[in-house]
Structure 1
Amino acid sequence: MVAAAAAGATSLEAYRAASPVHVLYGSETGNAEEISRTIHAALGDHGLTPGVLSPMKAYAAAGFAPAGMPATPPGEASPPRPLYVLVTSTTGDGDPPENVRPFLRYLRRKDLPAGALGGVRYALLGLGDTNYENFCAAGKRVDGALRKLGAVRLGPRADADDAVGLEAVVEPFIASVYPLLVEAVAAAAATAGEGAPAAATDEATAPVAAVGGATAPERVGAAAPANGAPSAAAPANGAPPAAGVAVDAVPAMAAAAVTTAAAATAASAPPAVDAAAASVLDAEMADLVAAVAAAELADPAAAATVPPLLPPRAEVEHMSPSDATPVAPASAVLTPAVEANTVFTATLTAATRLTDDVEGDDSVKRVWHLELTPTGEGAAAASAAAYHPGDAFGVVTANRDEDVAAVLGRLAGGLSGDEVVRLVPTKDAGATAGTAPNGTSMAGEAIAAPTTVRRLLAERVDLGGVLKKSALRALAEHCGDDSATRRRLLFLSSRAGKAAYRRTITDAGRGLTRLLAEVAPSCAPPLGTVLDVLPPLPPRWYSAASAPAVDGAVLHVALSVVTTADGRPGLASGSLDALASAVLARGDDPPPVLRLVRRTADAEDDIPGGAPRFRPPTDLSVPLVMVGPGTGVAPFRGFLRARRATVAAATTAAAAAGRAPPTVGDAWLFFGCRYEARDYLYREELEGYLADGTLTQLVTAFSRDGSGGADAPTTGATTAGATAPPPRNYVQAQLRARGAAVAALLTASDTATVYVCGDGAGMAAGVHDALVEVLAAHGGQAVGGVAGAAAVVAGWAKAGRYVRDIWYWGGGGEEE
C-alpha cells in the first residue's frame, strides 16, 4: 500500500508539472497586471507549475489553439491541460482594455464549434467601478464567451469594485485561487487514472460573485482566511509546504500584529516627512520590521503583512559606445499603454480660445478649440478620416523635463541621461513559453530598439502617476542605510498603513518624483526598478468635436487646461496649451506635429455583446437628449455637425426623387457652464443649430450667474438681503424643471436615446438621479415609482438607449 501510494504521488507530481498555470491579464492602468504578477509569483510556493504571464492578446502562445483545444480520442485518458487565471479590468463604460480585444475576437470566431474549449479550466477576476453602468463588463464578457465554448470555471467569478476598494475582493480571490488550482490538477489527474481521487471543483453553474456598491463581498471558491491571508489548508490540497524556517527561528508576528490602534495613530499623525511622524513610526514599527524580515524568509503569516517583492519583468542591458545598433527613432512610441499600430501623426493647424479666462483666477478654466490635420504617417493614418462623431483620440505625451531630471539625479549608479540601454524581458517574469505571435515577450511589452535613459524616463513610465503599494514595497529596498525611510515605505505599503497610504499617496496624488523629494529623500532606486514598478505613461483622451461629413480628416477637439494635485498644469493639457498659444500668437510655421492614437474599439467593428458606442443614431427619426456641460459638449458638436449635413443631404435626395422629406426626431441639448459671458463654449454655433432646426431645444444652465433651482430661470440676480447663497443652477436642475416634456419625449418612442458626457463624480451622477426622478414622476403608472424608473433606465443602458462618456477627476468632481 505504501509503495502504491508513493507511485500515485509521483504520477500526480508528473501530471502537475505537465499542467502549467497560465496567468493572463487585461490591463489599462496596471492594476490587473500587478494582481496577475502577484498571483503568478506565488504559484510555485503552492506546488503549481508557473506558465506564462502575459496580456490576453497573446492567448495563442498561452495554449489556446487557433481552432480550439485538441480533442481527446474516445477511450483514451485526457492529457494534462494548462490551467488559467484571468484578470481583467474594464475601461470606460463597459469596454475591454486594448490588450483584451484580440482574445475576445478569438472567442467570438464563427468557426469555433460548441465545446471547442472543453479542455479549459479557469478562474476569473474582474475589476470595475460601480459608478459606471456596465460594471465589470469586460470580465463578464470574457467569462460568458469561455463558458459558451465549453470552458469550465473553477469557482464563482469575482467582481471587484474600485468604488469601495478593490482589495475587499482581490485579496480573498488571491488566497482562494491556489487551493482551487491545486484541486483542479488533482481532479484531472484522478480522472485520467494517474492519481488518487480528489474532490471536483467544477462550479461552472455557481452564482457569480458580484461585489459592488453596498453588497457585502462574497467569498470566492474555497474558504479564504480573514484579510486575504494565504490559506493554511493549501498544503493539504496537494501542494508541498511553503519553503520556510523552523517556527522558533521566525520572529513572532501574526499578520494582525500591527494593531488597529497603531495604524490609527500613524494615520492621524502629520505627513510622513515630518520628524514627529518619523518618531511615531520608529516607536510603532518594530513588529512590522520583524514581519518583513520573516517575509524575506518566506513565513506565510508575515508575508501577508506587506506586498511581496515581485520578480522584475525586464532587465536593463547597457550598450557600449562601440555598439552600432540604431536607437529607437523619434517617431517610436515607447509606452506599453499604446498599441503601435494605432498611432499616427497630425499637425496642429488652428487654435482658438473658447473662454474668457484670467491668469490667477481659477473660476473659469482655459479652454481651447484645436484643429489637428493627420499627416499620413503611421499605420492608423489611413483610418483616421473614417472616424465617427463621438469617437475619442489620444494624445501621446511625455513627462516634464524637470521631473525626468529629478529622477535621473536620484538613480542608483549615477547614470547619464544620454546612456543608451535596452530592456531585455526576464524569464522569471513569466516568459516560459517563448514569445507571442507579434514577437514581444510574454513577460511584458519590450522595446525593440535601444534608447537613452532620459527618453525611457520621459516616455515609457508615468513619473507622476499615483504609486501602488507594490511600488513602495520595492522602493523600500533601495534606501541605503536610512532605516527610518525604509520603515516608512514598508508601513505605507502594509495593510496596517492603509489610511496613511490613502492620505500620503492617493489623496495627495504623489508619484515617484514627489515621493523621492518629499517622503523618501534617501531612496536611490536602480533604473530597472523604476521602469518595473511605475505604471505605463497613458495617452490623454479627447472626444472628437468634428464630423467627417463636414470636416473631412481634420479632427477638432475642445481642450480644458487642468491643474494637477501639485498645482502644475496637466501633463498633456499644459503642453498643448503652450503649443496652442504659440500657434495663435505666431501661426507657427511649420505647425507643431503631435502623435495621436485611436482606440481599437473605435477603429474596428464592435465586438458582439460589447458596450454601446458613444455615437449618434444612424436613423434620423430617433429622438435624442444630449447632456454635455463644459467640455462635455464637444462630442455633441460633432453629433450636430453630422446631423445638419445628413438632414440636408437626405432632404435634397428626397426632393430630387419626388419623395417626402425625411422624418427627423426631436433633438435636445442641455449645456451648462459657470458664466454665460465667460465660458459658454461654441455659443454662436449651438444657437445656429437651434435657429435652423438641427436642435429642437437648447437648454442652458449657468451655475455662477445667479439663482438656480428646479423652477428658476436660466439666469437671475440673487435676492437682496438673502442670508444664504441660492442653489446653483446645474443641468440636472434644468432636467427636473422640464421633467414632463423630457419624460414624454423618452417614453413616446422605443428608440429615444439619452447621451451624457462629462464629469462622472458629480454631474453624471446628478443627471442619472434626475433622469430617474423625472421618469418616476412623469412616466405614468406603468413605470412603478422610483424603483421602477431605475429599472427602466438600467434597461435603456443595456439596450444602448442610455449611453455615457464620463470621466473622473482626482480629488473630486469638476463643477459645471
Structure 2
Amino acid sequence: MATPESDPAMTAPTTGSPRRALILYASQTGTSEDLSLQLSDVLTRHHIHPTVLSCNELTPLSTLPTHALIFLLISTTGQGEMPDNAKLFWRGLLRKKLPAAWLGEVSFGVFCLGDTTYPKFCWAGRMVGRRLLQLGAKEVVPRVEADQSADEGTEGAFAGWVEVVRSVLRQKWPLMDGTEEIKDEVVLESKWVLEFAGADGEADGKTDGEADSKGEVDGMEIMRKLHAPRPGAILATVAKNERITTPEHWQDVRHLAFTLPEPMCWSPGDVLSISPKNFPADVEHLLALQNWTAIADRPLVLKPSAHLAPSEIPPCPISTPISPLTLRTLLIHHLDITSIPRRSFFSLAAHLTTDSTHKERLAEFADPQWIEELWDYTTRPRRSILEVLQEFSSIRIPLPRLLQLIPRLRPRQFSIASSSLSSPTSIELLVAIVRYKTVIKKTRLGVCTRYLASLLPDADADADTISLVFHGGSLGLSPSHLRAPVVLIAPGTGVAPMRALLQHRLLSPSPAVDNTLIFGCRSSRADYFFSSEWTSLQARGALQLLPAFSRDQPAKRYVQTVVRENAGKVWAALAERGGSVFVCGSSGRMPSAVREALVEVFAARGGMRREDAVKWLERLEKEGRYRQETW
C-alpha cells in the first residue's frame, strides 16, 4: 500500500507559474465547454497562458496541485450529478487520504451552470467548490450560479463573472511594467485553422480561392450517407419512422426504431446520442452568402496554428473530422450554423466587416453592458447564426477564422423507449419534432429532430442509416427498482424511459407487476402515446394506468392532479410497500408541481407536518427511491 510519502497524489505541491492557468470544464451538452473557451481568451488577453481540459482529461490527478490558478466551469446534470466527463475527476477528489493542505498553493474560481427547475440547482459546482476548500485551496473569485431558465440564461451571469475574473487578475496577478493587456478590439489568433489541401493532401497555405467545384455535388446524399466519426459509434438502419400524433394535432411526435448491427444490452433510462446534420438548403445559403459556392468541395486540412508552440496546442475542436473534409461536409456535419449566436460571436464578427454601420452594431452586441439588447436580438426570437450572417451581409469569414466564429455541432441525447430484453437487435425512440413560431413570427426547426424526421425507413427502397452512441442515463436504477413497486409519472415524451423500464420489469425472469403509470397528454385521441400497450398491460393485471388528459374536459387535469386524486394508491406503493417514484418529462413547471403534489400526499396520508413531508421526500431522494429525468 502506498504511503503518504510514496503516493504521487500526496506529494508536496509545486507552485505553478503565475502566468499560467488551468481551465477545467464539466459539461453534458457542451455549454460549459463553450464558455471555457471564452474564458481562455480573457486569460490570454491578460498574458496568462490557459490550458483548457475537460475534468476527466486532467491525468494524472496528482498534477492538480502544480497549477497555481484554476478555473472550473461545472454543469449539473440529472439528480444533482456530475456530467460524464467529470465523474472520474470527482471520484479522485473524494479520496479520503488526500491531506487537508493538498491544494494549499492553489487559487481557484468556480462558475456553476444549472437550472432552477431541477431539485438540486448547481449542486455539482457547489460540491466541487466545497471540496477544493476542504483540500486547502483558496477561492479568489467568488462562485456564481447561473440559471439556464433565467431570462438572460447563462450568458448574462457569465458576462458578470468574467468581469470579476478580470478584476481579480489585475489585483493579484498584475502585468509587468511595460506590458499591457491585449485590448478587446484586438482579435486573438485562431488556435486551429482550416486550409485548402494541395494535390498531395497537405495544406497548400491558401485560405481562399475561386477554383471551380468538380461537377455538381448532391448535398442530400452527403447528409444521408456520410456520418461524422465518433468514439463508440455504431451504424444502425432505420426500421421505422412513424408519426403517432393525429395529423391535425399541433405537435409532430415520431416513434422511431433502428435495427442494430449486432445484439446489444442496455439498461432502462439509458440514452442514445445522435449527431445532428444541417440541411443542404441551409448550407447552400451560407455558402452563397460567403461567396464560397465555387470552392465548397475543395479538400480541406485542419491543423494547429503555426504561432503555437507544441505545448500550447489545445485539443482539436473537431476531434475526428469527417472524410472527405470540405466546406460543404464541414457545414453539414460539424458546425452549428442554426444555433443562437453567443456574445463571443459578435465580438469576432465585428472585426470581419468593413461596413462601419454593421461593425458598430455588432460591437454593441458584444459589449457586456448591452446584454439585455443581445438577449432581445438573439435568444428571445431564437435568431440563428445563419440569419445574423444574412442580416449583416457584409461579414466575410476568413477560412482560418471559421472554427473560431461558428461553434461545433454537438450531439443530442434521447431517452431509449424500449428494453433490450424485448429485442437486443432493435432499439426505439419517442421524439417530439421541434417546430414552433417565434415572437417575430418566424418558424424554427430543431436541428436534430428535423434530421430525424427526414430519415427514410427500410420499408423504402433505400433505407437510411444513422450513427448512434450509447450512454448511461441518470435514473440510477438498482436491482430493487426492478422488483419493488414503482410509480411512474410521465407527461408527453417523458413516457419513453418509463416504457423501457416497464418492459424490462415485465420481461425479467421474475416479472414485477406492481406498476403504476400516471401518464399525461392533451387528448385521448391526439397524443395518447402507446395507449394500446397500456390498456393491454392493464387488462393482464400488469399495470395500473392513471391517465391525465388535460384538454378532454373543461377543467384541465395534469399529472399532479392525478397524483392528488390517487393519494391513497401513491402512499401505499411508496410508504407501505417500499416502492420508488420516477418522474420524467419536460423541465418546465411539471417537476416542481409533481414534487408539491407528492409532499401534499405524504402530509395528508402520513399525518405529517409539511416540513416533515418535505424531509420524507428528501429521504426518498437520498435512498434513490425518488428519481427525476427532465429535459
Query: In which range does the TM-score fall when normalised by the shorter chain?
Result: 0.7 to 0.9
Question: Matches of 2:103 and 2:268 in 1, distance apart?
Answer: 41
Equivalent positions of 1:143-222 (< 5 A) are 143=129, 150=135, 152-155=137-140, 157-164=143-150, 165-166=153-154, 169-171=157-159, 173-177=161-165
Equivalent positions of 1:84-95 (< 5 A) are 84-95=70-81
Specify the code of the residue in structure 2 equivalent to 1:705. D
Q: CA deviation at 1:671?
A: 1.0
Q: Higher relative contact order by CA 8 Å / sep ≥ 6: 1 or 2?
A: 2
In the alignment, does 2:289 pair up with 1:454?
no
2:423 paired residue number = 551
Specify the code of the residue in structure 1 equivalent to 2:559. V
For structure 1, which runs of at least 5 residues remain unmatched after alignment?
A: 1-13, 72-79, 178-229, 245-294, 335-339, 377-383, 436-440, 603-611, 652-663, 709-727, 808-816
Counterpart among 370, 387, 411 of residue 514 in structure 1: 387
Q: CA deviation at 1:685?
A: 0.9
The alignment partner of 1:634 has SS state of helix
The alignment partner of 1:760 has SS state of coil
2:112 paired residue number = 126
Indicate if the aligned counterparts of 1:29 and 1:536 stay in contact, CA closer than 8 A.
no
Q: CA deviation at 1:405?
A: 0.9
Specify the code of the residue in structure 1 equivalent to 2:228. V
Counterpart among 587, 593, 600 of residue 766 in structure 1: 593
2:10 paired residue number = none
Specify the code of the residue in structure 2 equivalent to 1:103. F
Question: Matches of 1:788 and 1:88 in 2, distance apart?
Answer: 32
The alignment partner of 1:451 has SS state of coil
Question: Matches of 1:733 and 1:626 in 2, distance apart?
Answer: 14
Counterpart among 181, 201, 223 of residue 323 in structure 1: 201
Provide the identity percentage.
27
Decide whether aligned partners of structure 1 residues 175 and 756 sit closer, same or farther in structure 2, where only a CA change above 3 A counts: same
Indicate if the aligned counterparts of 2:195 and 2:399 stay in contact, CA closer than 8 A.
no
Indicate if the aligned counterparts of 1:410 and 1:525 stay in contact, CA closer than 8 A.
no
In the alignment, does 2:377 pair up with 1:530?
no
2:33 paired residue number = 33
> Matched residue pairs, number?
590
Indicate if the aligned counterparts of 2:107 and 2:138 stay in contact, CA closer than 8 A.
yes
2:21 paired residue number = 21
Q: CA deviation at 1:568?
A: 5.0
In the alignment, does 2:522 pair up with 1:682?
no
Q: CA deviation at 1:569?
A: 4.4
1:574 paired residue number = 450
Q: CA deviation at 1:171?
A: 4.5
Q: Could you give the per-residue CA deviations for residues 70-92 of structure 1, whole angstroms, max 9, x where no partner exists?
A: 99xxxxxxxx7543222222334
Q: CA deviation at 1:455?
A: 0.8
Specify the code of the residue in structure 2 equivalent to 1:623. P
Question: Matches of 2:167 and 2:630 in 1, distance apart?
Answer: 40
Indicate if the aligned counterparts of 1:352 and 1:369 stay in contact, CA closer than 8 A.
yes
Indicate if the aligned counterparts of 2:352 and 2:397 stay in contact, CA closer than 8 A.
yes
Equivalent positions of 1:393-542 (< 5 A) are 393-411=272-290, 416-426=295-305, 433=311, 441-442=314-315, 444-447=317-320, 451-480=325-354, 482-517=355-390, 519-542=391-414
For structure 2, which runs of at least 5 residues remain unmatched after alignment?
A: 1-13, 204-221
Counterpart among 609, 619, 627 of residue 489 in structure 2: 627
User: Alpha carbon RMSD of aligned pairs, Å?
Assistant: 3.5
Q: CA deviation at 1:470?
A: 0.9
Question: Matches of 2:73 and 2:64 in 1, distance apart?
Answer: 25
Q: CA deviation at 1:311?
A: 4.3
The alignment partner of 2:258 has SS state of strand
Q: Could you give the per-residue CA deviations for residues 246-273 of structure 1, whole angstroms, max 9, x where no partner exists?
A: xxxxxxxxxxxxxxxxxxxxxxxxxxxx
Question: Matches of 1:433 and 1:151 in 2, distance apart?
Answer: 29
Structure 1 or 2: more strand by fraction: 2
Q: CA deviation at 1:468?
A: 0.4
Deviating more after overlay: 15-24 vs 134-143: 15-24
In the alignment, does 2:264 pair up with 1:374?
no
Indicate if the aligned counterparts of 1:90 and 1:136 stay in contact, CA closer than 8 A.
yes
Specify the code of the residue in structure 2 equivalent to 1:691. A
Q: CA deviation at 1:404?
A: 0.8
1:757 paired residue number = 584
Q: Could you give the per-residue CA deviations for residues 547-593 of structure 1, whole angstroms, max 9, x where no partner exists?
A: 1122223111122222155425433333333335x65xxx1245321
The alignment partner of 1:312 has SS state of coil
Larger of the two Rg values belongs to structure: 1
The alignment partner of 1:43 has SS state of helix
Decide whether aligned partners of structure 1 residues 311 and 798 sit closer, same or farther in structure 2, where only a CA change above 3 A counts: farther
Counterpart among 553, 561, 567 of residue 706 in structure 1: 553
The alignment partner of 2:589 has SS state of helix
Equivalent positions of 1:244-255 (< 5 A) are none
Q: CA deviation at 1:699?
A: 0.6
Specify the code of the residue in structure 2 equivalent to 1:455. T
1:636 paired residue number = 498
Decide whether aligned partners of structure 1 residues 793 and 236 sit closer, same or farther in structure 2, where only a CA change above 3 A counts: closer
Deviating more after overlay: 619-628 vs 504-513: 619-628
Equivalent positions of 1:676-755 (< 5 A) are 676-695=524-543, 697-708=544-555, 728-749=556-577, 751-755=578-582
Q: TM-score, normalised by structure 1?
A: 0.65
Counterpart among 131, 137, 143 of residue 123 in structure 2: 137
